[in-house]
Amino acid sequence: MAERLTQLRDQTMAMPMRLWKQMPRFRADKKAIAAVEFALIFPFMLLMYFGSVEIELAVSAGHKLEVVADEMALLLGAEVSQNLQDSDMKAVFDAATPMMYPYDITNGKLAITLSSVTFEPVSPGSTTYNAMMDWSVTNSGSKSNLRLCTFNPLSQTADGSTPSMTSIHTGVVQGGSIMVADLVYSYPSPLNIQNFFYHSQPTITMRRTVVDGVRDYGYLNYGPGGAYTNDVCTPANAHS
């Protein structure tokens, strides 16, 4: 047994030397070299291909989200009636599903918040306006997604700055009433290639805010029926 073990040890130690001696022959042999090279680079090619598709799908989803936000604000801005009910809100919220197709917005992946803002002169006859909240309603069920009512005007920020739920861009401040659409989308990867590496489906949070839908029919009143989470400003801060 000891002799056999010694023999195996000697063979094992001699193996690297034998392989080294064979290297010139391996280098000279060109057979199947293309297959070997393809096997080496194919995983990287596959990763780049699916990565580019993933990026394209995410960019397309962001564009659709921008369109949906714009359409949400325009739909309310074009509302002829001055009294908006939960049934009207449902029709607007439901319109997002076909507009976002083929992207998945089920199970609360897309939070839509629609708000009304009225611009009031800082003093009688003034051409400088304060942006005051009228009401805000969301389909998400969470008050954290609302533009909450306040007796203080919304802060006015420079055009192009990052939108927030307590501010509005200076460029849209004018007389009258406008609609604001805030959308938050938890974008799930359709290809889900990251699941291969991380064993979980990651999401990308996309946010879009659109201020549009200048009211041509006067202030739009919202009378909530309890179907959606909302915040309607008190009469002292409301508008007629």
In a domain, 32, yes or no: no
Distance CA 138, CA 115 (A): 9
Least confident stretch, 5-19, 93-107, 122-136: 5-19
Q: What is the mean pLDDT of the chain?
A: 78
Nearest to residue 180, comparing CAs of 156, 141, 210, 218?
Answer: 210
In a domain, 10, yes or no: no
Burial of 165 (0-12, 13-18, 19+ CB in 10 A): middle
- The number of distinct structural domains making up the chain is 1
pLDDT for the residue 102 = 87
In a domain, 6, yes or no: no
In a domain, 140, yes or no: yes
76-81 long-range contacts (CB < 8 A, ≥24 apart) are 76/114, 76/116, 76/179, 76/213, 76/220, 77/178, 77/179, 77/212, 77/213, 77/214, 77/215, 77/216, 78/213, 78/216, 79/217, 79/220, 80/217, 81/217
Q: Is the separation of the CB atoms in 224 and 129 below 8 Å?
A: no
In a domain, 11, yes or no: no
pLDDT of 175 above 60:
yes
pLDDT, tens digit, 9 for 90 and up, residues 17-32: 665 676 676 666 666 6
Residue 152 belongs to domain spanning? 37-237
pLDDT for the residue 238 = 47
pLDDT above 70 covers a percentage of the chain that reads 75
Burial of 40 (0-12, 13-18, 19+ CB in 10 A): exposed
In a domain, 58, yes or no: yes
pLDDT, tens digit, 9 for 90 and up, residues 30-39: 666 766 777 7
Distance CA 209, CA 103 (A): 19
In a domain, 45, yes or no: yes
Of residues 80 and 175, more confidence is placed in 175
Q: What is the pTM of this model?
A: 0.74
In a domain, 20, yes or no: no
